[in-house]
Structure 1
Amino acid sequence: MDNDHVLGASLERIPEDLPKLVHLNILHCRKIVISIIEDLGRRKPNLGIGFAPTDYFGCFQLE
């Protein structure tokens, strides 16, 4: 089941609002643009992000 109600704008505040968050599972949030996920990974490098762009599943942690 996909969740199309979660948009990228809500992720931009995670580093400031959720500093202790270490894993974010957005596997079924298809409306989030990949550049927002990459930016979040750069701004919060200790955050593991599980995501699924429309063409593949992935999990990454940017260095």
Structure 2
Amino acid sequence: MAGLDPALFSAQGLRSGHLTEAANRGISLPEAMQQSLHKSVTQAASYYSNPERKNGRAARLLSQ
């Protein structure tokens, strides 16, 4: 319906990306879930990537 190529974008990928970006911007999980329409906190939390990861010691190894 959005006109995106389904070979490049999946519903799961878009929802996961939305929750990850919400975490990066400091938006609470319950608020992000209002947009993603997840009913299960457990399921949504599995996509809600911890924004600290990109600044952690392990992440810094990738930029060396």
Do Structure 1 and Structure 2 share a fold, with TM-score over 0.5? no
Q: Smaller-chain TM-score range?
A: under 0.3
Report the structure, 1 or 2, having the larger helix content.
2
Q: Which has the larger radius of gyration?
A: 2
Give the alignment's TM-score, normalised by structure 1: 0.27
